[in-house]
Structures are given as structure tokens and as C-alpha cells.
Amino acid sequence: MNRNAYPESRRAWLTVVILMFAYVLSFVDRQILNLLVAPIRRDLALTDTQMSLLMGLSFAIFYAIAGIPLGRIVDTRSRRGLIFYGVFFWSLMTAACGLAKVYWQFLLMRVGTGAGEATLSPAAYSILADSFPPDKRATAISVYGMGLYIGVGMAYLLGGGLIQWANARGDVVLPLFGVIKPWQLIFLALGALGILFCLVLLVIKEPTRRGAGAGVAVPLSEVGRYLLSIRKAVLLHNLGFACLVLTSYGVSAWTPTFFIRDHGMTPGEVGLYVGSMAAVAGSLGVMSGGRLADYLARRGYRDSNMRVALFAAVVAGLCNTAYLIDNMTLLWVVMFIGMFAGAMPNGVAAAAIQEIMPNSMRGRASAIYLFVVTLIGLGLGPTAVALVTDYVFRDDMAVRYSIVWVGSIATGLGVLLIWSGLKPYVQARQTLEDWEPNPEIQPVTRLHSSKI
């Protein structure tokens, strides 16, 4: 077999599917907390702001920080092995959340969950970039990105069912651990599922690393110099997508609470309706984003990933007003469109990073991207909505207005940054070609390189 050839198609897509399910698992573990706000607040006597720290900042800080050193491992060591140990560790921490008796214990376990989940995406992006040619990467990475929305949907759908199941069982007494509340039992069950899933990851085979210097430990100083040479493109990309992620996490974290408080829905009903919508609209959106970006790339647009994100962000921002609509039918329709559009940037954002970085630096570039979007998006999104509710409106029933305020401001800023980054992004792609001549560049792309 030619070592320069990409993996056989079925093997490559099997890898995508397995990694996507790992991503699903990570988001179920991450998002299940959104449905458990009421019982956890009650049992641990917490405020919305304290809950938001469990949803976002505690998880995000160590997810972001751990990703930087892990990026070096991605560039030089076994990516499959890193994912295996990461899934095992975050599943162990998820189970440990089910043993928390006081707030600080829960906070610490969420920190551990974030650190474990930091292993997945940088390694997955690197594996997929080496498994597919440039004109198929956005689609492949977008299929992986579907895991986010399937995971959110599963968190709501399974979460609603698990809550009913756990509540029906009531408190459980476990040897050594004593009395376990229904919400704690859910975390224990999810942690056990993740540990079992680790066995599936052994099916993945490492693809051959591609490009000059691939697999070589490039010094961090050299990575820094390269990033500085394309700093405008990287900065506008990372900050622009971070603003969109802030909206996504802020809105999704408080959507169940919005329906429960403003529309009197039960957690089970929220899980069914919001979960189904998130899984369907989100999956279709992220897949459509990748397909559209690959289509535009074949048409010669060097900034196709950025263009798709810009268009989608504008549509999603307009649909954020859905939370002000009282008519339930219209509310669901506008929310569906907003979720579809809001999902489109997820896959193309990661694909865009792969297209402007040498192979030997992709892991760390992805880790830096995830550091920025996680710290700003996940770290600030849920807390920003909670702070506006607690300290601006000072009314738990005003969460709908907090969602709209935060979402509109963050999305507007994201649109401005991504639009400003179109031209620098094309220049960054040219910088890569000059730094490392790439035989994978398609002739049509070279021919239409003037299109920006």
C-alpha cells in the first residue's frame, strides 16, 4: 500500500463514526447538567450563578488549559491512545460527580471532566485531516461535529427518561457511599457507559501523518513564530467563532430552564421536544455546513469555511428572538431554523484551522483554538446569561430576556470578526503553500485563488 495514500474509504468513515460517538458521549456527560438544575439547586442549596459555574466555567477552564500541552502529544504521539485514556478519565470523573455531597466536590469533579474531554477534539481533528483529502475534510469533520448536536439531543432525550427512571427509584443506598439521590444516580450510570465505550475506540487505526515534518516534535517557539506570521487570520477566526460558541452555550444551557419557568413544561417534556429538535436541526445544520463549504471549495473559494460560518451566523442571530415569542408553534419553528443555522459553523470552524496550519502544528493550533472558544464560549456563555438574570433583571422569570441580550450581542460581534477575517484567511492559506508546497491542493483551487 502506498504510504502517501489516504486510508480506504470505509475505514476512514468508520473512524469518523466512532469519533462522532465519542463526541456524542462527551456532550451527554457535559450537557445532562442542564436538565438537572432544579434538583441540584435544591439539594445543594445553590443559586443560578453557582449552577452556571458547574455548567461552564469550572469545566471550561481546565478543558481549555489541558488542551495546550495535549496538543503537543497529538502532533507527536498516538492520537488513538490519547483519546482512549481521555474518555476513560472523563467518564471516571462523570461517575464521581454522582458521589458529590457538597458544592466544592461537584465543582472539582467537573474540572476533572473538562480536563479529560480536552483530549478528544484536537486528536480527532488531526486524525480526520490525515484521513481525507482537502475537498472532503469539511464534510468529514462536520460529520464528527454532528456528535455535538446528537449529544445535546441525547442529553435532553435520555436525560428526561433517566430523570423519570431515577425519580421512580427514589433515593438509593450504595455500599460505602451511603444515600444517593436520583440525579446522582444518573451521573454514575453515564460514567459507567463511558468506561465501557473505551473498548470501541480500539477499532480505530492511526492514519499516516501527512506533510513535511509530520510526526516530528516541532518546538513551541517555531509554532509561535508560524502563528505570528498569520496572526490576523488566527485571531479573527478564533475570536469570531468564540463569540458564536458563547451564544450557543449560553442559550443551550438555559433553554430547558426557560421552558420550565416560562411555559410550565416538565423536564421530561423539555427533554423530548428540545432534545429532538437539537438532534435533528443541529445534525442537519452541521452536515449542511460542511457540504456547502466543500462545494464552495471545489468552486475555487479559498475562504469557503469562513463564508459558510458568516452566512449561518447572520441567520442564527436573527432567529435568537424566538425566546420573545409567546405563540408556541411559531416559537418552535423559529428555534428550529436558529438551531439549524447555529450548527453550521461547528464543523467548518475546525476544518478552517486544518487548512492554514502545517501537519506538524495542527494539534497545537487546534488546542489553541479550543482553548479560546472554550474559555470564552463555554466559560462565559452560561454564566453571562445567569449574571444578567440575577443582577440586571433580578428576576428568575426574566431568563428569556437574558438569553436574547447575551445571544444578540455575542452573535453580532462574531459576525463582525468573521467578516473581517475573510481576506486574512486567504492570505494565511497562501502562507502555508509558500512554507510547505502542498501537492494535495487541487488545480481548480489554484486557478481561482483570487476569489475571496
Helix (H, G, I), strand (E, B) or coil at 29: helix
Contact in structure between 100 and 325 (CB atoms under 8 Å): no
Predicted pLDDT of residue 33:
83
**From CA 132, how far away is CA 229, in angstroms rounded?**
27
Predicted pLDDT of residue 363:
79
211 backbone φψ class: left, alpha, beta (φ>0; ψ -120 to 50): left
Encode the chain (452 residues) as per-residue pLDDT tens digits: 444 578 888 999 999 999 999 999 998 888 788 778 778 888 888 888 888 888 777 777 777 777 778 877 888 888 999 999 999 999 999 999 988 888 889 989 988 888 898 889 889 988 998 899 887 888 898 889 888 888 878 877 776 677 777 777 777 777 777 788 888 888 998 999 999 999 999 999 988 887 655 556 677 788 889 999 999 999 999 999 999 999 998 998 889 889 988 888 887 788 788 888 888 999 899 999 999 999 999 898 999 999 999 999 999 999 999 999 999 999 999 999 999 999 999 889 988 998 998 877 887 888 888 888 888 887 788 889 989 998 899 888 889 999 999 999 999 999 999 999 999 999 999 998 887 654 443 333 333 333 33
**From CA 231, how far away is CA 251, in angstroms rounded?**
30
> Which has the closest alpha carbon to 138: 338, 297, 316?
297
Burial class (CB in 10 A: 0-12, 13-18, 19+), 318: middle
Q: Considering the domain 9-203+220-447 in this protein, what is its CATH number?
A: 1.20.1250.20
How many other CB atoms sit within 10 Å of the CB of residue 153?
Answer: 27
How distant, in Å, are the alpha carbons of 269, 273, 279 from that of 260?
9, 12, 20
> Which has the closest alpha carbon to 155: 247, 60, 30, 257?
30
Half-sphere exposure of 284 (CA within 13 A, CB side): 12
Predicted pLDDT of residue 4:
56
Predicted pLDDT of residue 216:
61
- The beta strands (E) that lie in 89-190 are given as 172-174, 178-180
> Which has the closest alpha carbon to 128: 85, 171, 74?
74
How distant, in Å, are the alpha carbons of 51, 126, 363, 390 from that of 110?
12, 26, 24, 23
Burial class (CB in 10 A: 0-12, 13-18, 19+), 10: exposed
Predicted pLDDT of residue 51:
84
Predicted pLDDT of residue 240:
97
Amino acid at 269: E
Contact in structure between 353 and 366 (CB atoms under 8 Å): yes
Predicted pLDDT of residue 440:
44
Predicted pLDDT of residue 233:
96
Looking at residue 55, the DSSP 8-state letter turns out to be: I
**From CA 359, how far away is CA 343, in angstroms rounded?**
26
**From CA 101, how far away is CA 219, in angstroms rounded?**
44
